Amino acid sequence: MSSGAPGPDGAARHLAFEALWRVDEESLLARDALDAAIDRQGGGADPRDFDLAWELVQGVLRTEIQLDHVLGPRMARPAADQDPDVMRVLRIGLYQILHLDRIPRWAAVSSSVELAADVGRPAARGFVNAILRRISDGTSPPRAEEPRDPERALPRSDGSWIELWDPCFPKVTGDGAANLAARYGVPLRAAERFIAQHGPAGARRILEASIARPSLSLRPREGRGDALAAALSAAEIPFEREGPCLLVRGAGRIPRLPGFAAGDFAVQDPTAAEVAEVVAPRPGERILDVCAAPGGKTFALAEAVGPGGSVVAVDVPGPRIDRLREECARRGASNVAVVSADAQDAAALPAGPFDAVLVDAPCSNTGVLSRRVEVRRRLHDDAALASLLPLQRALLAAAATRVGSGGRLVWSTCSLDAEENGAQVRAFLAAAPDAAWRPDLERLTLPLAARRDGGYAARLVRTP
């Protein structure tokens, strides 16, 4: 990576380039990579540069497999044999051409040519120009209807379609996994698992959601839902309801939303917000939140149990639990205690009994691919999933020891994979003494494009 200075309008693209370099080379998460790029380039990015850079970083990471399929037939050598810096420039340019309406195609091409020079690849300018122009000329404008030929139908992140004049995606054979994987930009193994576990229609819904820009979802503070809706209407900010949340579109920066200063909402996806409903907290209860950081569910539970109840939030030491502690202090959450511990070890957990115990387990994150944009890179094989299963088993078994008689045990993940969801719960029940637990509720939520994430929650009751 070069540290050459960007052209006058290239700051956002230059930041995006560096962030993507850091994701590739330093294995950083997308947001950390962009923050590091901003710091190295002097800090304090203009908000418009930040917004475009963040859109490009997330967009490229969501669609890179799709983009490489479109680039492939235009290049004499495969992507893996090209200069990685030139590939990053091409992907940033192609994402703008295929997925961003607000940037004219000619501007996406010319800014990519400049970016190639800015990042120390001036010799590649002609190559970048030729490839991006050829693709730009070889595609239809966006349209609402899906083109009929799956080898030439490219889904966009806003739900519309582009038709490619040349076929770029694999032929549909068998269950169609290879074609869907390429078009929606997921590894083949992930598409195969989605189809096998959720059927063709379910897989398609999951993939459509995975490529979409996620919603900005506000979970109103307990008892503040109507007031928040009224304040948004008064400020002429359009919103829609989804589960317990309000989805806000095109609203600008979160701190400027009505109710932010008063703490009237938390930013939380509807599916995640519904996990607190599965726990069903009642005023005055004592709740254990295992795997709690950074605390999205902790605060919903704390609001529901009120000042007469309490939540003990457990997570391993590290930056996530530090954020949870800071957020507790910022909110003055006096009914939340934060405990740093390895929750696989029952002896390390706070003493029970608790009225309810939530285990919001670390998982493969397949329900949140649109938000956790780096995750799809881990789905090429089952290794990451397999390594999580024993940890999950241990967390559930340890947490169960803290549930009081008649109390609730909730297992939740943001995964769509049966091995991490129902299979874990059934294995736990099979290992428990007869009739010690009563299965009470099980809910798998498939993601819905630009409306909600996917996830799973199950509730067991300890028989008195």
Cis link prior to 353 (omega < 30° from 0)? yes
Distance in angstroms (rounded) separating the CA atoms of residues 272 and 268: 7
* Residue span binding ligand SAM (CB under 6 A) among the ranges 73-81, 98-106, 301-309, 339-347: 339-347
* Residue span binding ligand SAM (CB under 6 A) among the ranges 72-80, 152-160, 310-318, 450-458: 310-318
* Residue span binding ligand SAM (CB under 6 A) among the ranges 50-58, 201-209, 291-299, 403-411: 291-299
State which residue, 54 or 456, has the beta carbon closest to ligand SAM.
456
State which residue, 258 or 455, has the beta carbon closest to ligand SAM.
455
**Is 25 exposed, middle or buried, given 0-12, 13-18 or 19+ CB atoms closer than 10 A?**
exposed
Verify binding: residue 269, ligand SAM, rule CB under 6 A: no
* Residue span binding ligand SAM (CB under 6 A) among the ranges 77-85, 123-131, 338-346, 371-379: 338-346
> Residue 275 has which token pair?
């996990």
* Residue span binding ligand SAM (CB under 6 A) among the ranges 3-11, 63-71, 229-237, 308-316: 308-316
First to last CA, the chain: 63
Minimum distance from residue 363 beta carbon to ligand SAM (Å): 7
Binding ligand SAM (rule: CB under 6 A), the pick from 320, 323, 378, 443 is 320
Minimum distance from residue 395 beta carbon to ligand SAM (Å): 6
Minimum distance from residue 407 beta carbon to ligand SAM (Å): 19
184 and 155 in contact (C-beta within 8 Å)? yes
Minimal CA–CA distance to 155: which of 453, 451, 449, 455?
Answer: 449
The one-character DSSP state at 382 is S
What is the DSSP track for 72-129?
GGGSSS-GGGS-HHHHHHHHHHHHHHHH-TTS-HHHHHHHHHHHHHHTT-GGGHHHHH
Verify binding: residue 447, ligand SAM, rule CB under 6 A: no
| Backbone torsion region of residue 176, taken as left when φ is above 0, otherwise alpha when ψ lies between -120 and 50, otherwise beta | left
State which residue, 136 or 364, has the beta carbon closest to ligand SAM.
364
Which residue in the list 245, 328, 363, 414 is annotated as catalytic?
A: 414
Verify binding: residue 291, ligand SAM, rule CB under 6 A: yes
Verify binding: residue 454, ligand SAM, rule CB under 6 A: no
Binding ligand SAM (rule: CB under 6 A), the pick from 59, 296, 367, 454 is 296
Give the helix, strand, coil percentages of the chain, each rounded to 5. Answer: 50, 15, 35
Distance in angstroms (rounded) separating the CA atoms of residues 84 and 18: 12
Could you tell me how many helices (H) and strands (E) the chain has, helices first? 14, 13
User: What is the amino acid identity at position 363?
Assistant: C
Verify binding: residue 270, ligand SAM, rule CB under 6 A: no
Question: How big is the chain, counted in residues?
Answer: 464
State which residue, 57 or 273, has the beta carbon closest to ligand SAM.
273
State which residue, 227 or 391, has the beta carbon closest to ligand SAM.
391
Question: Applying CB under 6 A, what is the total number of residues that bind ligand SAM?
Answer: 16
Minimum distance from residue 357 beta carbon to ligand SAM (Å): 13
Minimum distance from residue 362 beta carbon to ligand SAM (Å): 4
Minimum distance from residue 77 beta carbon to ligand SAM (Å): 40
CB atoms within 10 A of CB 342: 14
Give the x/- contact pattern for ligand SAM in 342-381, rule: CB under 6 A. xxx---------------x-x-------------------
Q: Which residues contact 31 (CB under 8 A, 6 or more apart)?
A: 54
Distance in angstroms (rounded) separating the CA atoms of residues 324 and 315: 9
Q: Which residues contact 51 (CB under 8 A, 6 or more apart)?
A: 12
294 and 320 in contact (C-beta within 8 Å)? yes
Distance in angstroms (rounded) separating the CA atoms of residues 302 and 295: 10
| Cα dist from 86 to 66, 131, 411, whole Å | 17, 12, 45
Minimum distance from residue 273 beta carbon to ligand SAM (Å): 10
313 and 339 in contact (C-beta within 8 Å)? yes
Binding ligand SAM (rule: CB under 6 A), the pick from 293, 328, 409, 460 is 293
Is position 414 annotated as part of the catalytic site?
yes
* Residue span binding ligand SAM (CB under 6 A) among the ranges 11-19, 181-189, 256-264, 313-321: 313-321
Minimum distance from residue 285 beta carbon to ligand SAM (Å): 18
Verify binding: residue 295, ligand SAM, rule CB under 6 A: yes
48 and 83 in contact (C-beta within 8 Å)? no
* Residue span binding ligand SAM (CB under 6 A) among the ranges 43-51, 151-159, 241-249, 290-298: 290-298
State which residue, 203 or 398, has the beta carbon closest to ligand SAM.
398
Binding ligand SAM (rule: CB under 6 A), the pick from 64, 85, 315, 420 is 315
Minimal CA–CA distance to 459: which of 409, 424, 414?
Answer: 409
Binding ligand SAM (rule: CB under 6 A), the pick from 70, 182, 211, 292 is 292
State which residue, 119 or 356, has the beta carbon closest to ligand SAM.
356
Residue in the structure block whose two tokens are 């939380």: 268
Residues that bind ligand SAM (CB under 6 A): 291-297, 314-316, 320, 342-344, 360, 362
Q: Active-site residues: which are they?
A: 414
